[in-house]
Amino acid sequence: MKITHIQAYEILASGGYPTVEVKVTLDTGTIGIASVPYGASAGTHEATVLTDKDETRWNGQGNLTAVNNILTEITAATREIDADNQIALDSALIALDGTPNKARLGGNAVLAVSLATARAAANAKRQPLYRYMMDTYSLQPDLSKLPQPMVVVIEGGKHADESTDFQEFCITAMEQNSVTENVRKALETYHHLKKVLKNEKLSINVGNEGAFAPNGIASNEAPMQYIVEAIKNAGYTPGKDLGISIDAAASEFFTGNYELKLEGRQFTGEELINFYAEWVDKYPFVSLEDMLAEDDWDSWVALNKLLKEKGITHIGDDLTVTNITRLRKAIELDAITGIIIKPNQIGTLSETVACCKIANEHGITTVTSHRGGGETNDHFIADLAVAVGSAYVKVGPTRGERVSKYNRLMEIERELLKR
């Protein structure tokens, strides 16, 4: 199963800027297509998104350099590799790039080829993508427990204009139930949240991820009150059917101290943890993500102690960037109990799965996630989440590029139930 042809080109991502899509053709005649997303609040330790620096095109955000790297160097280097040997393919891509963060060829170039080849090989074997990944990486998820929805319903930070300091407030399914049912419950609650916001005279316009992004909201705590109200109004029980997850994306408001504009104050790490501590018994939290900055390890360790006692999953995203070195450090320090998984943070499928395997071995919950800057309709992450046994997928509630992920997850559920 050899790669005979690689096509690479720019397509539009949801943020209105280009990203890379790749079409891989195998000697079996089978094709695989994949495209890659990008973040709005990308961590500094992530793989590089290589953009053109040509200010005359796309304000310097073009992807033609990445595309060209695929059409020249990557095509030449992958000619002799078996497409169904994904680990060999990804190792070759990593070696060819030669940098720790895919800076030379571009994480966007490398990942698009990695994912498109996996899809082509799965197609050639007539396997659903999640099955192909399970076989390729010897993964044995409990398929009776599919990843559950963590639905972003209010967004702020870099995903909106003049909304909350925190980046995401999510409604998270709490009952291990049918994904389809839990998506329905969460989305019904989202529609009730719209009414709650309207009653508060807040805007119901949506931000990057299709969640409400209310301008002029009073505090970073207000969304939690609104969400609890919406859960009740929808006829569900907060803390039983549905809970709350927050992603503060704290690196974005860390300037040596933590500057929360809505609170009108600056916090040290310790002060911020005390501020959070007041909330943990008040709201039905499932998880808290990136509540502290990406290199503030001591504070992470301190917050982890508190959240472990409360049974709240403490998730690293910018802290860990789907990178096994950073995950291992977080495990050694006892800094997290959960990790966000985003393939484009690291740049190949095999490295993404390796990170999930280490997390699984250490009882760290994985949450496979969309990106805020620009997403595409590619729903690869839904299959990935199933294959690695993620507890949740974190995706926005509306806009085609978001709901495509939930739709694929529900399709997988239907497929499995038929068996």
In this chain, which of 294, 317, 378, 413 binds Zn ion, going by CB under 5 A?
Answer: 317
> Does the protein bind ligand PGA through residue 15 (CB under 6 A)?
no
| 93: nearest Cα among 106, 42, 84 | 106
As measured in angstroms, the least distance from the Cβ of 352 to Zn ion is 16
Q: Which of 317, 378, 383, 401 binds ligand PGA (CB under 6 A)?
A: 317
Confirm or reject binding of residue 369 to ligand PGA (CB under 6 A): yes
- Mark whether 342 is an active-site residue: yes
Which of 44/72 has CB closer to ligand PGA?
44
Pick one of Zn ion, ligand PGA, none as the site partner of residue 192 (Cβ within 5 to 8 A by kind).
none
Tell me how many residues contact ligand PGA (CB under 6 A): 13
> Shortest Cβ distance from residue 249 to Zn ion (Å)?
5
Among the listed ranges 63-71, 221-229, 264-272, 371-379, the one in contact with ligand PGA (CB under 6 A) is 371-379
* Catalytic-labelled residue, pool 21, 209, 229, 401: 209
Residue 359 interacts with, from Zn ion, ligand PGA, none (CB under 5-8 Å by kind): none
CB of 395 to Zn ion, least distance (A): 12
User: With contact defined as beta carbons under 8 Å apart, do 169 and 152 qualify?
Assistant: yes
Angstrom distance (rounded) from CA 258 to CA 369: 25
Query: Hey, CA dihedral for 301, 302, 303, 307, is it positive or negative?
Result: positive
Which of 15, 18, 32, 39 is close enough to bind ligand PGA by CB under 6 A? 39
Reported as half-sphere exposure (CB side, CA atoms, 13 A), residue 165 has a value of 21
Please pick, among 342, 351, 401, 413, the residue that the annotation labels catalytic.
342
How many alpha carbons fall within 13 Å on the CB side of residue 257? 9
- Min CB(203)–ligand PGA separation in Å: 21
Could you give the 3-state DSSP secondary structure of residue 307? helix
Residue 207 is classified by DSSP as -
- Output the DSSP codes for 53-116: --TTSGGGT--HHHHHHIIIIIHHHHTTSBTT-HHHHHHHHHHHH-STTSTTT-HHHHHHHHHH
How far are the Cα atoms of 95, 101, 108, 351, 379 from residue 92, in angstroms, in the given order? Answer: 5, 15, 16, 12, 25
63 or 369: CB nearest Zn ion: 369
Q: Does 373 bind ligand PGA (CB under 6 A)?
A: yes
> Residue 187 is encoded by which pair of tokens?
């989305």
Task: Indicate which single residue of 14, 19, 30, 41 sits in contact with ligand PGA (rule: CB under 6 A).
Answer: 41
- Tell me which residues in 333-352 interact with ligand PGA (CB under 6 A): 340
> Nearest distance from residue 317's CB to ligand PGA, in Å?
5
42 interacts with ligand PGA by CB under 6 A: yes
Please check whether residue 339 is in contact with residue 316, taking contact to mean a CB–CB distance below 8 angstroms. Answer: yes
Instruction: Kindly report the backbone phi and psi dihedral angles of residue 26, in degrees, each rounded to the nearest multiple of 5, phi listed first.
Output: -100, 165
Site for ligand PGA in 157-186 (CB under 6 A): 167
Work out whether 249 is an interface residue with ligand PGA (CB under 6 A).
Answer: yes
Q: Give φ, ψ of 94 to 5 degrees.
A: -65, -45
- Total of residues contacting Zn ion (CB under 5 A): 3
Chain position carrying tokens 């969460």:
186
Q: Which amino acid is at 94?
A: I
Partner touching 245 among Zn ion, ligand PGA, none, CB below 5 to 8 Å by kind: none
Query: Which residue is nearest to ligand PGA, using beta carbons?
Result: 372
Phi and psi at residue 77, to the nearest 5°: -80, -15
Region from 101-109, 136-144, 266-274, 364-372 binding ligand PGA, contact rule CB under 6 A = 364-372
| Crossing angle of the two packed helices 349-361 and 380-388, in degrees rounded to 10 | 30
Contact residues toward ligand PGA (CB under 6 A) are: 39-42, 167, 247, 249, 317, 340, 369, 371-373
Return the active site residues. 209, 342
Contact residues toward Zn ion (CB under 5 A) are: 247, 290, 317
